[in-house]
Structure 1
């Protein structure tokens, strides 16, 4: 296996990841060439393009050569995705299996023990270049299609909320104290007043996690699955493409416009979506501050400052 299948920038970034329940980034990276070679051989795959990377995974375009070729459609092509082992990636294949290609990329084969999946091949285009109102409509429609009963083995949103209620209450004042206290109280309230039914949640459906497809205009990729309240799903479409929010009073209008479109198309309660967004943005701000403190460099501190400022902006807009 040639090391060129692992882009150098990806290798440099992930080598610094500490272990999160599994192998560290450095240890996993040392095994990745062998893992790639084993999967290509065992699953009878031929690389046909350069490796793509995400924050924690590599995705290699492949041609299926064996008996499973028909599952990939007319092209006989797919994508071999291997993720650095961490809790958020542990149940991705279960969610894709549950959706079975309805609104999401189709799972052709999986080996959860090796955090490996063979996926149908999609187009490279995403929603980043689509008018934001139209893109929010696409996201809202997909959230409606993806609304399925949850797989019993995915994490529960209620556990996240209970944890955040405690952690945000005790967090240092990286945000104005009133916002941290509000987020903590909302997390408790949302657990105390649950929706009528839990659903399988993507939890990270933003503009780059929606790709064009051969069999459908748009499909979701890269879920971080949970089971719980569909109103939790809206927030990523608010904090992404933040440079397009405008300035001054236009920012609030833009954020509420996105929220309104998604909630209407997905059939989600706007009040609960605003409340979950406040919780998630407070969590994002605390995470940003902790990451910058751990990194200890000027670039990380500058990024954290900007991310916390965005969190304050979004929380204000959800409150007004």
Structure 2
């Protein structure tokens, strides 16, 4: 392993961990991951780059393996969690099994939202996430901005949200089933945690027929009002487009979603 392990070494020593792979750097969050062995368990050691990532670690611990990867230890910027036995849901979608993948995502979200016996960690309101859209002056985002404003002013069923549920953030943990990783952690309407399913895992998944099928399946499975779920999908697509404008990245998927949602 040629990567620099100096930042990991204090945690390797503290938790008696043995490195088992190379350091991986996450392109968006800039957090770093190192596959390790904790005793007889394959694990992943994550070093957070931001306060938001640190909050995610405390939320993962609060979920206690119910819908999310089990946390073995966490302290300051370091999170030690069990390592997935398999991969993501992306290949399932690409193999034509979108309905099965959507069902798994719905099951994971339901487990994350289930009541716990203790109060959740403190997390910011969902409205904070939408600043980029609310403050955007792009006229093509006006409908999405208006919808987001209305939804945020009248929230229903508030829960601690994962905030970034999609096909690559739910992994196969073998006997423990499919579990989520990398939460953002926000407090808001539970329907929002389903909104990011629609534009994922790639642009090929964004078609009118697939959107309609997913909308019906998610609304039925999660007991959500279809029009309300559609509105959250619209708001999220606008938010995604606003982020792409800020970052100078390709907005094709977000714009394709907006085209579907604004065609009716």
TM-score normalized by the length of structure 1: 0.72
Residue 273 in structure 1 maps to residue 222 in structure 2: no
* Secondary structure, aligned partner of 1:40: helix
The equivalent residue for 1:172 is: 138
- Within 2, Cα distance between the matches of 1:53 and 1:268? 36
In the alignment, is residue 212 of structure 1 matched against residue 177 of structure 2? Answer: no
Aligned CA-pair RMSD: 2.3
Q: How far apart, CA to CA, are the structure 1 residues paired with 2:41 and 2:210?
A: 42
The corresponding residue for 1:313 is 259
Answering whether residue 128 of structure 2 is matched by residue 182 of structure 1, we say no
- Larger helix proportion of the pair: 1
1:84 and 1:259 map into 2 onto residues whose CA distance is: 35
Q: Normalising to structure 2: TM-score of the pair?
A: 0.86
Contact kept? 1:59, 1:82, Cα under 8 Å? yes
Alignment of 1:31-50 (within 5 A): 33-50=5-22
For the 8 Å contact 1:158–1:191, the answer to whether it is kept is yes
- Equivalent pairs, count: 255
Q: 1:315 to 1:60 in 2, by over 3 A?
A: same
Q: 1:152 to 1:158 in 2, by over 3 A?
A: farther
- CA apart distance, 1:309: 3.1
Question: What does residue range 127-206 of structure 1 map to in structure 2 within 5 Å?
Answer: 127-130=89-92, 131-148=97-114, 151-161=120-130, 163=131, 166-168=134-136, 171-173=137-139, 176=140, 180-195=141-156, 197-206=157-166
1:310 positional shift: 2.3
Native 8 Å contact 1:77 1:121 kept in 2: yes
Larger radius of gyration: 1
Which of these residues, 82, 104, 129, is aligned with residue 47 of structure 2?
82
Alpha-carbon shift at residue 187 of structure 1 (Å):
2.2
Q: Distance in 2 between matches of 1:50 and 1:312?
A: 39
Cα distance in 1 for residues equivalent to 2:133 and 2:150? 9
Aligned-pair distance for 1:166?
3.7
Q: Does 2:69 align with 1:95?
A: no
Per the TM alignment, residue 314 of structure 1 is displaced from its structure 2 partner at its CA by 4.2
Is residue 86 of structure 2 the alignment partner of residue 124 of structure 1?
A: yes
Higher RCO by CA contacts (8 Å cutoff, separation 6 or greater): 2
Deviations 1:177-217 (A, max 9, x none): xxx2222222222133221x311111211111111113322
